[in-house]
Amino acid sequence: MEPGAKSEAKQGEAGSGAVGGSGGSSSKVYHERQRLQFCLLHALNNLMQEKECFTRAELDRIAGNLILSDPNKDQWTPLSFIFRPHHNVLTGNYDVNVLITALEARKKKVVWHDRRKGASSIDMDGEALVGLMINVPIRRFRGLWTGRHWVAIRSIDGVWFNLDSDLSEPKQFKDKENVIAFLDSSLSQGGELMVVLQDE
């Protein structure tokens, strides 16, 4: 991985950081920690449970290709070379178009969830389900800075985990109902939910 986007990876026991108890699982859970604004990079690797399944260089390349096909690129200003349409050159901060393109390159399909239906409408036991990606609003520095943050949620050996790169370790959900409640809470606070499926 390129300098400035080195992942702070953590291999931990699946039962660590349990939410609501239950623990007991001995499976290893891959978890990358947050650096700068590379939360999408970390969320993708956490979703796929593989170190450097995606790299900064690959996401930058995807963002660059998306820019080439941007019909509004003639309207750029000098700042556009840093604050590009699909990412920030210095800190990352990739958008949903990079997410979709990156996962499609791994033969995954991304379906934007209709918030009006609630999280209970998602087939959490579907064979094609890889996991969930949430984009949530965040506030830092006592509310002086606002932005958005990518979070991966997935089931590993039948146990659901919150793999948020802002967490010190993966958080285990008690059960599927607990996952659904978490997702509904995120949606009610302005979150966007994407369902990641194995493409046929």
Q: Could you give the residue numbers annotated as active site?
A: 39, 149, 164
Distance CA 170, CA 13 (A): 9
Three-state secondary-structure class, residue 173: coil
What single DSSP character describes residue 83?
Answer: B
Per the listing, tokens 């499976």 go with 27
Distance CA 92, CA 87 (A): 6
Three-state secondary-structure class, residue 72: coil
> In the numeric block, which tokens belong to residue 110?
């991304």
Q: In what order do the strands lie in the sheet with 192-198?
A: 108-112, 192-198, 129-140, 145-156, 159-162, 171-172
- First-last CA distance in the chain: 30
